[in-house]
Amino acid sequence: MKRMIMAATVSLMALTAPAFAMDPVVIAFAGNEDLKNDAEYVFINGFAESLAKHGVETEIHPANSMGKESDRLDQTSQGLINVNVGNGGSLFKVSDTARGLFILFLMSDEADFDQTVEQSNVLGKINEEAASHGVRIVGFPMRGGTLGLFNNEKPVTKFEDVKDMRLRAQNGDQLQFFESWGARPTVVSWAETPNALQTGVAVGHLNPPSTVVAAGQVELLKYFTPLDAGPVPKVAMISDDWYQSLSDEEKGWVDQATADGIAANRAWAQEQAAYFEKAIVDGGIKITPLEEGERQKFVEATKSVWAKTVPQETIDFIKPAAN
């Protein structure tokens, strides 16, 4: 009789227990586990909390502990990392179309960016290109705030103020944008930027206040000019092989976790904008707004070289109204 009861119990457990058990999800990023200052971790924390509702564990590896940008991209394509938050440079390696999302002044802020991505279906095209590299782009956590010009040389209130200014460029695209302003840019890695500012190799760079605060560069800079040149998207990518190996239900969990992480990131970005602005002012950086009509001069100069960095058809696909 006891054996029959035990057998019945085992059978009942087999019927009620999940047919699968999702392995811990490996997540990697460059930043720190800091919900106050780190935009990437805000997304990751929201993502992990969403999966936890389904009993799924996560292994979070911060501070490049799984490798730098290119290393993490390779590991994601191989399935060794399930979820990776990278930068635009990593995205450009798997999609040429994606470069259009990072053109200065194509979009003004996060809301404009989200609306443009949704209306253009550019994410679908990006993933067509990324599929051959084994990765899937699932969203764009935002750094918070919009791009403006930091420098340690002089207040910038007019377009002509940047003439001959030595600016740190992130890549070749920024190099051309800054040259269109009459500046003297030089490509410097982010890791070397503090040294460049201290030695005069560069006197400034384009970033939002959130990046300067998170990077500990407040004391290295004196002036900030808001340009609203665009938001600062980070890139949430997942291993395509890993995602395809999941059941439909598990895929639904991951999709929802992505949406929850992005929602948490957007709420954080909106709430923290004033905090980061106050942080740079408290740290001694003076905010110097542009005079009336001067921003449009930056816009027109930058637009004149858009097609030198990204094919015109890509710009038209992403945001036809930009022309």
Helix (H, G, I), strand (E, B) or coil at 310: coil
Find, among 113, 88, 48, the residue nearest to 237 by Cα: 88
Q: 23: which DSSP letter? A: P
pLDDT category of residue 34 using cuts at 50, 70 and 90 = very high
pLDDT per position as a tens digit, 268-296: 999 999 999 999 999 999 999 999 999 99
* Per-residue pLDDT, 323: 66
* Per-residue pLDDT, 93: 96
Average pLDDT, stretch 165-187? 97
Mean pLDDT (the chain) is 93
Q: 67: which DSSP letter? A: -
Q: Residue 321, class by beta-carbon neighbours within 10 Å (0-12 exposed, 13-18 middle, 19+ buried)?
A: exposed
* Per-residue pLDDT, 288: 98
DSSP per residue over 274-294, as a string? HHHHHHHHHTTPEE-PPPTTH
* Per-residue pLDDT, 31: 93
- Round to whole Å and give the CA distance between 210 and 38: 9
Q: Which amino acid, one-letter code, is at 300?
A: E
* Per-residue pLDDT, 7: 39
**Fold of the domain spanning 148-231+278-322:** D-Maltodextrin-Binding Protein; domain 2 (3.40.190)
Which H or E element spans position 7? helix 2-16
- Round to whole Å and give the CA distance between 155 and 225: 8
Helix (H, G, I), strand (E, B) or coil at 26: strand
Q: Do the domains at 22-144+233-275 and 148-231+278-322 have one common CATH topology?
A: yes
- Round to whole Å and give the CA distance between 206 and 226: 10
Strand partners, 137: 237
Average pLDDT, stretch 169-173? 94
Q: Which two tokens stand for residue 95?
A: 């999609």
Is the pLDDT assigned to residue 6 strictly greater than 50? no
* Per-residue pLDDT, 175: 97
Find, among 202, 178, 206, 182, the residue nearest to 192 by Cα: 202
pLDDT category of residue 321 using cuts at 50, 70 and 90 = confident
* Per-residue pLDDT, 21: 66
pLDDT per position as a tens digit, 8-25: 433 444 444 344 469 999
pLDDT category of residue 83 using cuts at 50, 70 and 90 = very high
Is the pLDDT assigned to residue 86 strictly greater than 90? yes
Query: Can you tell me which residue has the tokens 């490996």?
Result: 26
Find, among 157, 281, 158, 177, the residue nearest to 167 by Cα: 177
Q: How far apart are the first and last CA of the chain?
A: 81
Indicate the domain borders of the chain: 22-144+233-275, 148-231+278-322
pLDDT category of residue 74 using cuts at 50, 70 and 90 = very high
- Round to whole Å and give the CA distance between 135 and 74: 9
**pTM > 0.85:** yes
Domain 22-144+233-275, CATH: 3.40.190.170
Handedness of CA 31, 188, 294, 88 (dihedral sign): negative
Average pLDDT, stretch 133-155? 97
Q: Which two tokens stand for residue 291?
A: 């005079």
- Round to whole Å and give the CA distance between 245 and 20: 12
